[in-house]
Structure 1
Amino acid sequence: MKILIVEDETELCEVVKTFLEGEKFVVETADNYTNGLAKLANYSYDCVLLDVMLPGGTGMQLLAQLRTLGKDDSVIIISAKDSVEDKVEGLGLGADDYLAKPFHLAELLARIKTIIRRKNHQGEQAVQFKNVQLFPDSRTLLVNGNQVMLNRKEYDLFYYFMIRPGKLVTKTSLAEAVWGDDADQSDNLDFIYSQIKNLRKKLKDHRAEIDFQAVYGVGYKLV
């Protein structure tokens, strides 16, 4: 799962980034309006942490631009002032939540998880497809009730497919989501094949009723 932090306070941005990476998120950052807009226009995120006051513009303007682009990335507005007007404006523009500074990192994490759960799996604790269950909060995979051990990237990749069953996922979008935005600059995406191969073997060994279907030259489907 991938998070974008748009925040010009360097120390705060680094603290939040380090914390979320420790919670197994892929984290990208932008420190001003222009960089934030470029990230939002070119990439997709599970959740965007958007500061209100930014060099070159405001978080509210970025949020408006995001929705104008037709993108539905989840957004948490972060503000130095607990203003009713800011809350109303942010929610009116399509923000999912509002958090006033200073905040506890545990509260931020809880809000991010709630938003992602609501968006990606209708608020349910588990994502299920056939005889396979994925529990995002604990990063646990069960097949027929038996746990399957995954490394970090295997889990992130499999989660991306589990919330998109039957849908074609391109190699580029998969690389961006699991390895970060710079992955789309790679000349070779063969590392994705290796991860898929490992996952297929683990699913087969545990008699999962699902598998990856390759679409030559494009990507994969979970079917």
Structure 2
Amino acid sequence: MKILVIEDSDSLRETIIRSLEKERYVVESAANYQDGLAKVSDYDYDCIVLDIMLPGGSGLALLQELKKIRKRDSVIIISAKDSIEDRITGLDLGADDYLTKPFHLAELNARIKSVIRRKQQDGDLDISLENLVIYPDRHTVYVDEQELVLNRKEFDLLYYFVINPGRVLEKSALVESVWGDYIDQVDSFDFIYSQVKNLRKKMKAAGAIPEIKAVYGFGYKLVTE
């Protein structure tokens, strides 16, 4: 799962990033309005943590831009301002939650999990597809009630496939979903091929009904019977 943190305070931004990475999220960041707008325009995120007061523009204005381009990324506003007007405006513009600074990192983590669960899992703790069950909060997978042991990248890939069933996913989208800003640190396409190959082998050995199929010239898609 991929999170974008848009926050101008270097210390707070880095603290949030470290906390979210411990929760096994792929985390990207921006320190001002323009960089944040560029990222939300070009990429999709499971959740955006958005400060209202940003250099170069307002977080509320960025929310309006998200609405204009019809992005459905979950958004949690974090702000030192606790006025009811800002809360109402932010929620009316499409924010999923509003958290006032200072806050505990544990609470931010809990709210991120909650908004992702509401939007992608209909409020459930798990995602089921045929005989495959994923628990995103616990990073565990079961096939016919037997745990399927995956490494982190394999899990991230499977989760991305499961929330996009039947959709052809290009290799570039898969790379972005599991590496984010760090894609230049690996030979990403070769690594994706290797990870998908291992994931398909493990799913087949476990007897999973859903299957990852290669779509020649495009990428992969998750199909069921």
1:124 — aligned with what? 124
CA pair 130-177 structure 1, distance change in 2 beyond 3 A: same
Greater Cα shift, 182-191 or 142-151: 182-191
- Contact 1:46/1:74 (8 A) holds in 2: yes
Q: Which runs of 4+ in 1 moved over 2 A?
A: 181-188
| 1:204 aligned onto 2:204 | yes
> How many residue pairs end up in the alignment?
223
2:148 — aligned with what? 148
1:95 — aligned with what? 95
1:222 — aligned with what? 222
| 1:219 partner amino acid | G
Deviation at 1:188, TM superposition (A): 5.9
2:45 — aligned with what? 45
Deviation at 1:132, TM superposition (A): 0.6
| 1:169 aligned onto 2:169 | yes
d(CA) in 1 for partners of 2:219, 2:19? 32
Deviation at 1:168, TM superposition (A): 1.2
Deviation at 1:133, TM superposition (A): 0.5
d(CA) in 1 for partners of 2:34, 2:182? 18
d(CA) in 1 for partners of 2:195, 2:73? 26
| 2:194 partner amino acid | S
d(CA) in 2 for partners of 1:192, 1:207? 22
Q: What secondary structure is seen at the aligned counterpart in 2 of 1:180?
A: helix
Deviation digits for residues 146-174 of structure 1 (CA, Å, limit 9, x no counterpart): 00111111111100011111111111111
TM-score by length of 2: 0.95
- Contact 2:131/2:209 (8 A) holds in 1: yes
d(CA) in 2 for partners of 1:3, 1:38? 15
d(CA) in 1 for partners of 2:8, 2:201? 44
- Contact 2:175/2:188 (8 A) holds in 1: no
Question: Identity of paired residues, percent?
Answer: 57
- Contact 1:132/1:209 (8 A) holds in 2: yes
Deviation digits for residues 4-32 of structure 1 (CA, Å, limit 9, x no counterpart): 11100110001000000000001111001
d(CA) in 1 for partners of 2:187, 2:133? 34
| 1:127 partner amino acid | I
d(CA) in 2 for partners of 1:159, 1:181? 19
Deviation at 1:183, TM superposition (A): 2.9
CA pair 188-10 structure 1, distance change in 2 beyond 3 A: closer
2:17 — aligned with what? 17
d(CA) in 2 for partners of 1:37, 1:164? 25
d(CA) in 2 for partners of 1:11, 1:183? 24
1:84 — aligned with what? 84
Unaligned stretches of 5+ residues in structure 1: none
What pairs with 1:54-73 in structure 2 (closer than 5 Å)? 54-73=54-73
| 2:198 partner amino acid | N
1:2 — aligned with what? 2
Q: What secondary structure is seen at the aligned counterpart in 1 of 2:109?
A: helix
Deviation digits for residues 40-98 of structure 1 (CA, Å, limit 9, x no counterpart): 11111110011000111110011111111111111011110211000000011111110
1:180 — aligned with what? 180
d(CA) in 1 for partners of 2:14, 2:199? 33
Greater Cα shift, 178-187 or 142-151: 178-187
TM-score by length of 1: 0.96
d(CA) in 2 for partners of 1:172, 1:184? 12
